[in-house]
Amino acid sequence: MTSPETPQIYLITPAAFDPEPFSEQLARVLDSHAIACLRLSLATRDEDQIGRAADTLREIAHARDVALVIDDHVLQAERLGLDGVHLTDAGKSVRAARKHLGPDAIVGSFCGASRHDGLTAGEAGADYISFGPVAQSGLGDGTIAETDLFQWWSEVIEIPVVAEGGLSPDVVRTLAPCTDFFGIGDEIWSADAPASALANLIAAMG
């Protein structure tokens, strides 16, 4: 994942979904907009369910040259032929994941609103750091990742940064100059027409 001038879209799946109808929805979104990465972010720990979902999404994503990563499941990422892993423990397992998956895999780290955790994860080998929520959301412990965190990061640190959790057109407009990716999930999947909802957020970037 590279750092572009204009933020790219990092798509996050719902925490639970029926693979068949969701795959149709997802394909429409991927065919309508340029997506940099897709993250499988299921609440379940059931390996069979995760495996079925990953198999379905991998086919759709890879057919469109979209990278597919998975929340936390390092072993599953390798076994299922995914492109990497998104770790949610504030950087604690970045080094181990990098060692296991190798230099070519994507290893990302969610660090809440902590500059320190972001720096630690980056030093451990993370390809990107995700901060959030950026507005009221169920993400993390609820502590808001403020705009000045993204401004500082984009000015000082070269590692790409993702803004996620509670995105709205106004928030996107504010953060667009100082983030590399927007992590978009429930903001569009809860809408009747996810591709249109995503178009509204993309329009707010500039």
For 101-139, how does the pLDDT look when each residue is reduced to its tens digit (9 = 90+)? 999 999 999 999 999 999 999 999 999 999 999 998 878
In this structure, are residues 155 and 129 in contact, taking their beta carbons and an 8 Å threshold?
no
Both tokens assigned to 180: 């590399």
- Report percent pLDDT > 90 for the chain: 92
Burial state string for 35-58 with b = 16 or more CB within 10 A and e = fewer than 16? bbbbbbbbeeeeeeebeebbebbb
In this prediction, residues 139-151 reach a mean pLDDT of 92
4: pLDDT strictly greater than 90: no
Instruction: Work out the number of other CB atoms within 10 angstroms of the CB of residue 177.
Output: 15
Q: What's the 3-state SS for 54-77?
A: HHHHHHHHHHCCCEEEEECCHHHH
The whole-number pLDDT of residue 142 equals 81
Query: Full-prediction pTM beyond 0.75?
Result: yes
The whole-number pLDDT of residue 2 equals 45
91: pLDDT strictly greater than 70: yes
Report all structural domains of the chain as residue ranges with CATH numbers, in order of start. 8-203 (3.20.20.70)
* Average pLDDT score, the chain: 95
The whole-number pLDDT of residue 158 equals 96
151: pLDDT strictly greater than 90: yes
| Strand pairing category for 161-164 and 128-131 | parallel
Residues 6+ apart with CB under 8 A from 73: 50, 85
Find residue 11's DSSP bridge partners. 38, 184
Give the DSSP H or E segment for 86. strand 84-87
3: pLDDT strictly greater than 70: no
Burial of 134 (0-12, 13-18, 19+ CB in 10 A): buried
In this structure, are residues 76 and 83 in contact, taking their beta carbons and an 8 Å threshold?
no
